[in-house]
Each structure stands twice: as structure tokens, then as C-alpha cells.
């Protein structure tokens, strides 16, 4: 649903605003290098529409799958969550 509604593309186009709420340096077991583990909120105006987890390399590119991992999204008036955020 996150991909189908184009959240990443909407952030890239400026339609949504991404705000990093938490960023800590960690070395996950699957990576030989330390990365930033970030929790990011997406906003449409003042309304929060998504919360994602992402692993960011020091060069600014996304690690792991290369895409944010959604934990909570709002589509219209409906809210969906993974239960882990």
C-alpha cells in the first residue's frame, strides 16, 4: 500500500515533507559498516501521513532494500500500521 500510493515519489517531488525524528548510528548485523538508523515522519501540510524506518549510509544513500520501511501510513481517513513503530 505504501508503494502503491507513491509515498517515496511524493516526498521526492516535494508534495510531502520528510522530517527525521530519530537518527542513531548503528552497525546492523547484515552490514559491515555503521549506518544511521532513522525514524522519519512524512507530512502533507501539517497532517502526518506516514512513519518509516530507514537505514542511511554516511554518503546519503539508503541501505538495506534501498527504500524506507513503512511502519504507519494514513490513506484518506484510514490508518494502517505494522504494530512495530
How does pLDDT run along the chain (85 residues), one tens digit per residue? Answer: 999 999 999 999 999 999 999 999 999 999 999 999 999 999 999 999 999 999 999 999 999 999 999 999 999 999 999 875 4
Domain count, the chain: 1
Q: Is residue 83 part of a domain?
A: no
Q: N- to C-terminal Cα distance for the chain?
A: 17
Q: Is residue 1 part of a domain?
A: no
Residue 13 lies in a domain: yes
Residue 51 lies in a domain: yes
Asked if residue 37 belongs to a domain, the reply is: yes
Q: Could you tell me which of 35, 32, 30, 48 has the C-alpha nearest to residue 85?
A: 48
Please report whether residue 2 resides in a domain. Answer: no
pTM: 0.90
Q: Is residue 11 part of a domain?
A: yes
Say if 84 falls within a structural domain: no
Q: In whole angstroms, what is the distance from residue 42 CA to residue 20 CA?
A: 9
Give the range of the structural domain holding residue 58, as residue numbers without chain letter.
7-78
Amino acid at each position: 500500500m505504501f508503494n502503491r500510493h507513491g509515498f517515496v515519489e511524493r516526498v521526492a517531488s516535494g508534495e510531502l515533507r520528510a522530517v527525521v525524528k530519530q537518527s542513531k548510528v548503528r552497525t546492523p548485523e547484515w552490514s559491515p559498516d555503521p549506518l544511521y538508523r532513522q525514524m522519519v515522519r512524512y507530512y502533507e501540510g501539517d497532517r502526518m501521513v506516514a512513519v518509516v524506518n530507514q537505514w542511511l549510509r554516511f554518503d546519503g544513500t539508503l541501505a538495506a532494500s534501498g527504500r524506507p520501511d513503512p511502519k504507519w501510513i494514513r490513506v484518506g481517513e484510514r490508518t494502517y500500521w505494522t504494530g512495530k513503530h
